[in-house]
Chains A and B, each alone.
Chain A
């Protein structure tokens, strides 16, 4: 395959009645997808946005979302998916960074003033059958989508993924996971989280189906366990922690899901014990571990976790590099025998949108190379036959329930609060090296001491963080200390705090 948009349209032309999308029983065909994405593209072209300007898309996981994504790229614009459970502040910050002039409101926008921003809603886009000029579509190194991750100073970073990046990823996934011919994929991750891309484009470019398990359903057990047994699909894509949650349901097994032949995990460390439990419930399924940062398009390594691997390794490998990608270790970073993972290949992003400083710090191009290299900040090492293992971070970034969090971003907002002199958020790990909880260690300002009870302080700090950071970044515990440890350079010793929390 050499073009993602054209390949999806070809499926629609060959088999327009084929089901592409199943949202809790509401289905849409490839014909619908082509018609609706063409309608969006036509409307967007008439709006004459600045060439190459990205478009923000606010919504959940409905069919209209993906039709709109394709409409954007058909019209030559990258899309920025923003989950509609985000707070208004995030929308404002993403607009500031991206300089977008248009937001598409698939869901109702938060009730705030958005100066300089046009709003387009599905009702403004009539269903029509226009002829689309295919030459204007996103191609080559044009940006296809932009996913915003957390930044260290409160300013989110927009990772630009080009058509070429995405193509390299999708071709790899289609060839290296023993997938069925027209696979039906579970879509559980919100579209603002690039794990969703592991389902989205591999399914659509092979005439498969997307079976959606919406975010709000997964947030409520009752709904989750009423819904999950009803869904039928071949390929499970999620974080390890989400699958673990599903173990609560005794019907989550091959008996209830006979078609489920593949598990693809990404986004955080896959515990050995989880694969053992999974193999009991799904004895014949293929279970794959994968690894990759958003900056290198979802994932760049994969390995099937076989009985051999389980027997051999207590801490599971993250896999082998995809054929078009080189992974090297920068041994000046990290502990002896390991190094920082440096990725080079066609799926490595060109950098962060409108942020040359951060781009320069993380990306580089080796002399004579055609692809970018990216410094992951992850430490790892190779075992036999280039099998890669992850060993930790070299900075203060963590993965919590699959979400990537820069702890320093939370610290930044905590310390802005009038009640707080120093605030440091530390991850608490369980025995599987998984972050189980975020703990905020707080030294109060003089003025705040004795003024409020701890319960009242926690309530106030939570309420103010809720306006500034994503819900998954709010610490579960707040601990008040008379003084935090100070390092030699006069700053709070974050490493020391993290150590103390994990004692």
Chain B
């Protein structure tokens, strides 16, 4: 499964919504993801993709839309 699918699946599980056609929507701004849910998202990403999110450098703005999350995940995989 590619990163886009994994991310969208995790987000769908957390928010109950399919965000495939809303890839640039700010999911913190519209309240879909709060801080506890964003933790769940990172834990799921860690589990499913094996990436280590550097939480001490976590900047919410860099994770605010589905597209941004995918970009972030892809760059972390290369590290």
Residues on A lying within 8 angstroms of B by beta carbon are 219, 221-222, 224-226, 241, 244-245, 247-250, 401, 428, 436-437, 439, 455, 458, 462, 474, 476-477
Contact = CB atoms under 8 A, between A and B. Distances in A.
Contacts of B16: 428, 437, 439, 477
Given A225-B55, A226-B56, A248 B34 contact: no
A477 B11 CA distance: 13
A114 to B, nearest CB: 30
Given A462-B31, A476-B15, A477-B17, A248 B36 contact: no
Contacts of B14: 436-437
A474 B35 CA distance: 13
A229 B73 CA distance: 25
Interface residues of B, number: 24
B66 to A, nearest CB: 16
A458 B31 contact: yes
22 contacts: A221-B39, A221-B55, A222-B56, A222-B58, A222-B59, A225-B55, A225-B56, A225-B58, A226-B56, A241-B36, A244-B39, A248-B39, A248-B53, A248-B55, A249-B55, A250-B52, A437-B14, A462-B31, A476-B31, A476-B34, A476-B37, A477-B16
B3 interface: no
A462 B55 CA distance: 29
A244 B37 CA distance: 12
A274 B38 CA distance: 18
Contacts of A224: 55
Nearest to B39: A245
A50 B32 CA distance: 47
Contacts of B40: 436
Given A222-B55, A225-B58, A476-B31, 19 more contacts: A221-B55, A221-B56, A222-B58, A224-B55, A226-B56, A241-B36, A244-B43, A245-B36, A248-B43, A248-B55, A436-B14, A437-B14, A439-B16, A458-B30, A474-B31, A476-B32, A476-B33, A476-B34, A477-B17
Contacts of A437: 14-16, 37
Interface in B8-53: 14-17, 30-37, 39-40, 42-43, 46, 52-53
A293 B2 CA distance: 45
A477 B30 CA distance: 10
Contacts of B37: 436-437, 476
A144 B31 CA distance: 38
B15 A477 contact: yes
Most A Cβ at <10 Å: residue of B33, B40, B52: B40
Contact of A455 (B17, B30, B42): B30
Contact of B57 (A219, A222, A241): A222
A33 to B, nearest CB: 32
A222 B39 CA distance: 12
A449 B30 CA distance: 20
